[in-house]
Amino acid sequence: MKAQRILERLYAWLTYRPVYHGLFWLALLALLFWTDYAPGLDWRFVLGNVFISLIFFAVLVYFNLLYLIPRYLARHALLYLLLVLAACAIVTPIRVFVLYLKFSGQPEWQQALVDAQLNLYAGSVLVTLTSTVLRVITDWWRYQQEKQILQTQTIQSELRFLKSQINPHFLFNTLNNLYALTLKKSDKAPEIVLKLSEIMRYMLYDCNERQVPLEREVQYIHNYLDLERLRQPKGADIQFVTEGFISDQMIAPLIFVPFLENSFKHGLNHHTRGGGYVRLRLKVEGKQLEFSIENSKPDPPPPPSTSGGIGLANVRQRLDLLYPGKYALDIQDEPHRYAVTLHMTLE
């Protein structure tokens, strides 16, 4: 975690415009000094020549970055290239003239400078086009970063929307359960209130995080099933089995809620004479999780529900956003049985 923070700070520092512009000019200064310096020369003389060259390179580079690229590169690439060549053809002779004056009294240096005009022109073109390549790369990188931020914001917005659909539906079911239990005037009222309190606390507070400990999600399922056992007929078979180590795993909150609620809403709740079942199994091996839930279906089947549910479309959408490419959902809808198996790779 500490190394990641250091890398993030280093990235933020390197992508700060004055920093990477300064690094570019320092690198170019070092390259020019290394190519121009020779044993026996005064380093201050060579450094003065390099600074003069840097001034003219800066004129070309920033004319290119601020004017030529925004106006011509994307629309007229050939015209842009011609303008770059023309700008270098104008600036390079001026650079040669300034250096020629600096070399007064050194005719051999002046003659070498005149002979090297073509190479100096090529160097000006190379530096200018290098700034173009770096500008294209940095613009592409910045676009990718902004695109990723936008995608993250979109995903978070969609997740909040999906969760906002889960929460009211959950509250509605919880109030229905509470109403059914109060009609029975059960002696287990303190236990019921405690479990409801734990469920509400988990849903309202803990679930605001992107991920929660898997053991809390499991405890939520246990509390939910305990409340269902109290209001279902005595013959109802409700089972929940866990396998593997769940204490060190994290998972998106309320990921199993739609399957759990639908198994009662469309299955066990319609077995008026008892005999129905809901069976859950959660198995964890390393980062691989398998969740399966199976419920019986009454005969004859219940009429279509008019009350809104969460729906499999929203479940799949939430899984696509949270675990893209890391889950497999299998649904078996048979005449007397409904089963869901979810395989996931945990983070």
HEC states along 27-96? Answer: HHHHHHHHHHCCCCCCHHHHHHHHHHHHHHHHHHHHHHHHHHHHHHHCCCHHHHHHHHHHHHHHHHHHHH
pLDDT at 31 over 70: yes
Compute the distance between CA of residue 97 and CA of residue 93 in angstroms, rounded to an integer.
6
Distances (CA, A) of 162 to 62, 156, 216, 227: 49, 10, 20, 25
335 backbone dihedrals φ, ψ, rounded to 5°: -55, -40
pLDDT at 35 over 80: yes
**What pLDDT band is residue 7 in, cutting at 50, 70 and 90?**
low
Q: What pLDDT does 309 receive?
A: 45
- In this predicted model, which residue has the larger pLDDT, 320 or 300? 320
Contact 227, 177 (CB under 8 A): yes
Q: Which amino acid is at 315?
A: V
- Third-level CATH fold of 186-345: Heat Shock Protein 90 (3.30.565)
Q: What pLDDT does 300 receive?
A: 66
Under DSSP, the state recorded for 300 is: S
Q: What pLDDT does 189 receive?
A: 65
13-27, 175-189, 244-258: range with highest mean pLDDT? 244-258
Compute the distance between CA of residue 166 and CA of residue 175 in angstroms, rounded to an integer.
14
Compute the distance between CA of residue 2 and CA of residue 6 in angstroms, rounded to an integer.
6
Contact 343, 289 (CB under 8 A): yes
pLDDT at 294 over 60: yes
Query: Which H/E stretch holds residue 326?
Result: none
Percentage with pLDDT > 70 across the chain: 81
Tokens representing residue 78 in the block? 């050939």
Compute the distance between CA of residue 202 and CA of residue 220 in angstroms, rounded to an integer.
7
Compute the distance between CA of residue 229 and CA of residue 238 in angstroms, rounded to an integer.
7
How high is the mean pLDDT of the chain?
81
pLDDT tens by residue, 141-169: 888 878 877 777 776 666 566 556 555 65
Determine whether 315 is exposed, middle or buried from the number of CB atoms within 10 Å of its CB (0-12, 13-18, 19+): buried
pLDDT at 41 over 50: yes
pLDDT at 334 over 90: no
Q: What pLDDT does 156 receive?
A: 66
Tokens representing residue 177 in the block? 């359960």
Q: What pLDDT does 168 receive?
A: 62
**Bridge partners of residue 344, in order along the sequence:** 289, 327
Angle at 336 between CA 168 and CA 254, to 5 degrees: 25
Average pLDDT over residues 231-238: 76
Q: What pLDDT does 74 receive?
A: 84
**What pLDDT band is residue 301 in, cutting at 50, 70 and 90?**
low
Q: Hey, is 281 helix, strand or coil?
A: strand
Q: Which residues of 269-301 are buried (b: 16+ CB within 10 A; e: fewer)?
A: bbbeeeebbbbbebebeeeebbbbbbbbbbeee
Contact 153, 109 (CB under 8 A): no
Handedness of CA 179, 185, 186, 188 (dihedral sign): positive
Range in 40-54, 63-77, 177-191, 303-317 with the lowest mean pLDDT: 303-317
Tokens representing residue 254 in the block? 């309320």
Range in 24-28, 240-244, 292-296, 311-315 with the lowest mean pLDDT: 311-315
Compute the distance between CA of residue 199 and CA of residue 217 in angstroms, rounded to an integer.
10
Compute the distance between CA of residue 206 and CA of residue 223 in angstroms, rounded to an integer.
15
Distances (CA, A) of 143 to 63, 156, 180: 23, 20, 56
Q: What pLDDT does 311 receive?
A: 63
pLDDT tens by residue, 84-143: 999 999 999 999 899 888 888 788 888 888 888 899 999 999 999 999 998 888 888 888
pLDDT at 281 over 90: yes
Q: What is the pTM of this model?
A: 0.55
- In this predicted model, which residue has the larger pLDDT, 203 or 70? 70
Q: What pLDDT does 318 receive?
A: 80
**What pLDDT band is residue 192 in, cutting at 50, 70 and 90?**
confident
pLDDT tens by residue, 304-331: 554 444 567 777 888 888 888 999 999 9
Domain assignments of the chain as residue spans, ordered by start:
2-147, 186-345
Contact 303, 347 (CB under 8 A): no
Average pLDDT over residues 225-239: 79
